[in-house]
A and B are shown apart, each in its own frame.
Chain A
Amino acid sequence: MSLRAAPRVGLVIAVVLLAQSTVGLDLRIAGVHPDLVWLLPIAAGLTAGPQEGALVGFVAGLGVDLFLPTPLGLTALVGCLLGFGVGRATAGLSTSGPWLSIVAALAGSTAAVMLYAVLGAVLGQEQMLRVDLGSVVAVVAGVNALLVLPTVRTMRRALGSEPTSRRRTLASGARW
């Protein structure tokens, strides 16, 4: 990620976190609210690769952790791993179509919620495994699948990436 892109990406992160803590908390389906923070590392991983995905996931997660009673750093850790995982899993694939983004949002959000609950329980927050994880996964993944396309477009503009930039990596023979 270039230094010029950092303020733009920071602005995108701030706007999404603001939306999460205002409109996001008002919207409840079966008592569960969306978790828009996972959209950021997913979008960054899809558009720019695992390194940018990990960085954006870490920063966005740390931003969310500052306002949650859960352990500081937990969301940052999961966001970092999520961004890296999405970036690595989609390396070399074309990101210009919508379906890859939607599948990545569904799978990534599901993995993030489960990993968050398990890591939280390992850190002593056992109540995280007593929550109805099925409902949380369904709502979070569903809403993120709906919002991933505009988020990917916005992140692509912020990072200055192109959809074909990943294919250059394949052509050079590099392997992650």
Chain B
Amino acid sequence: MARPRRSRRTLTTVVVLVLVSFTIITIDQTNGTHHLSAGVKSLASDVFSPLRNGVNDLLRPVGDFFAGAVDYGSLQTENQKLQATIGRLRMAEAERPFEQRQLQEILALQHLPFLGAQPTVSAQTTQIDVSNFDVDITIGKGRSDGVGYAMPVVGAGGLVGQVVQANHHSSIVQLITDGQSKVGVVVGTGSHGATAVLDGQGPGSPMTAVFVAATTALRKGDRLYTSGLQGAQYPAGIPVGRVTGTRVSAGGAEITAQVSPLADLGALAYVDVVQWVPAS
């Protein structure tokens, strides 16, 4: 019995849509054509962002209400701790206005010692974790402000991540804890420090330093810095993380270390984009 016409049309529609989806994915993932999809994403972001920001400002009390309802218990505890801290601070020094604290955060970024003479662009974080499957932030600066694809991003304390999408007025930064992040690092500050690769393990999990030679004297508390070796994604010397544990591999050929980031990734109100582009 012949398939009814509507059934054939439905199947044809679905097959066409699936093929179009795969075509779009292929265009996005191919190096030679990726710039096309990146351009479309950038255009969409530039068009949609003003509307989203306007609606966000209107709906912020609603979002805060839901967020508060879900986190009410932990907010209460944190509130009590904060009140105690405020009481102690009031005794020690004069109370500072909120704007002065923000200004100090921004000034702290301007004097990060490890950046040297590298030009930077300071940016405010506007969104956190746009997707449940990526660890990233959205910042309010883009190509028009000098931010480019693959530029490193730092926060007070150390390396934060890398720009993975630079739109006209905003950018998405993949954090170093993201599962796709890989950072070439060196242990210690000496020129003969052991090198390793720091792998992000996803949200809530410590990073892992792999390919560390078994003869390396690696201890808990040791600091890791970007290696800046040829072809590296980051310039040399940026503090990245601190070793929290080590494990020798089964064959004893290498050490795997657990690393926590030095930058406080839970408090990224402001970050600096380093205007440095990898060679590759």
Do A and B pair up? The answer is yes
Chain A residues within 8 Å of B, Cβ to Cβ: 18, 21-23, 25-29, 31-33, 35, 49-51, 54-55, 58, 61-62, 66-74, 76-77, 80-81, 84, 116-117, 120, 123-128, 130-132, 136, 140, 169, 172, 174-176
Is residue B272 within 8 Å, beta carbon to beta carbon, of the partner chain?
no
Contact of B200 among A28, A58, A124, A127 (CB under 8 A): A127
Q: Chain B nearest CB: distance from A172 CB in Å?
A: 8
Contact of B130 among A27, A67, A71, A81 (CB under 8 A): A67
- Judge whether B21 and A35 touch: CB under 8 Å: no
Contacts of A73 in B (CB 8 A): 21-25, 28
- Judge whether B52 and A18 touch: CB under 8 Å: yes
Contact of A51 among B14, B133, B179, B180 (CB under 8 A): B14
Contacts of A61 in B (CB 8 A): 21
Is residue B105 within 8 Å, beta carbon to beta carbon, of the partner chain?
no
- Judge whether A127 and B180 touch: CB under 8 Å: yes
- Judge whether B10 and A51 touch: CB under 8 Å: yes
For B56-69 the 0/1 string (1 means CB < 8 A from A) is: 10011011101100
Assuming the contacts A51-B14, A69-B164, asked whether A130 and B201 have C-beta atoms less than 8 A apart, the reply is yes
Assuming the contacts A55-B13, A127-B179, asked whether A27 and B66 have C-beta atoms less than 8 A apart, the reply is yes
Contact of B10 among A74, A116, A131, A176 (CB under 8 A): A176
Chain B residues within 8 Å of A, Cβ to Cβ: 4, 6-7, 9-10, 13-14, 17-18, 20-25, 27-29, 37, 40-41, 44-45, 48, 51-52, 55-56, 59-60, 62-64, 66-67, 70-71, 127-134, 136, 164-165, 172, 174, 178-180, 200-205
- Contact sample, A vs B, 15 pairs, CB 8 Å cutoff: A25-B63, A26-B63, A28-B70, A28-B71, A50-B10, A51-B13, A69-B164, A71-B29, A74-B21, A76-B17, A76-B21, A76-B24, A125-B179, A136-B133, A174-B6
- Judge whether A67 and B205 touch: CB under 8 Å: no
- Judge whether B179 and A22 touch: CB under 8 Å: no
Q: Chain A nearest CB: distance from B199 CB in Å?
A: 10
Q: Chain B nearest CB: distance from A34 CB in Å?
A: 9
Assuming the contacts A50-B10, A50-B14, A67-B41, asked whether A127 and B178 have C-beta atoms less than 8 A apart, the reply is yes
- Judge whether A26 and B66 touch: CB under 8 Å: yes
Assuming the contacts A22-B55, A117-B133, A126-B179, asked whether A69 and B7 have C-beta atoms less than 8 A apart, the reply is no
Contacts of A175 in B (CB 8 A): 4, 7
Q: Chain A nearest CB: distance from B153 CB in Å?
A: 14
- Judge whether B41 and A66 touch: CB under 8 Å: yes
CA distance A81 to B11 in the complex (A): 11
Q: Chain B nearest CB: distance from A28 CB in Å?
A: 7
Contacts of B7 in A (CB 8 A): 174-176
Q: Chain B nearest CB: distance from A133 CB in Å?
A: 9
Which B-chain residue is minimally distant from A87 (CB atoms)? B10
Contacts of A169 in B (CB 8 A): 6
Contact of B25 among A28, A74, A127 (CB under 8 A): A74
- Judge whether B59 and A128 touch: CB under 8 Å: no
- Judge whether A55 and B17 touch: CB under 8 Å: yes
- Judge whether B67 and A77 touch: CB under 8 Å: no
- Judge whether B17 and A67 touch: CB under 8 Å: no
CA distance A150 to B6 in the complex (A): 28
CA distance A31 to B205 in the complex (A): 13
- Judge whether B6 and A35 touch: CB under 8 Å: no
CA distance A112 to B141 in the complex (A): 33
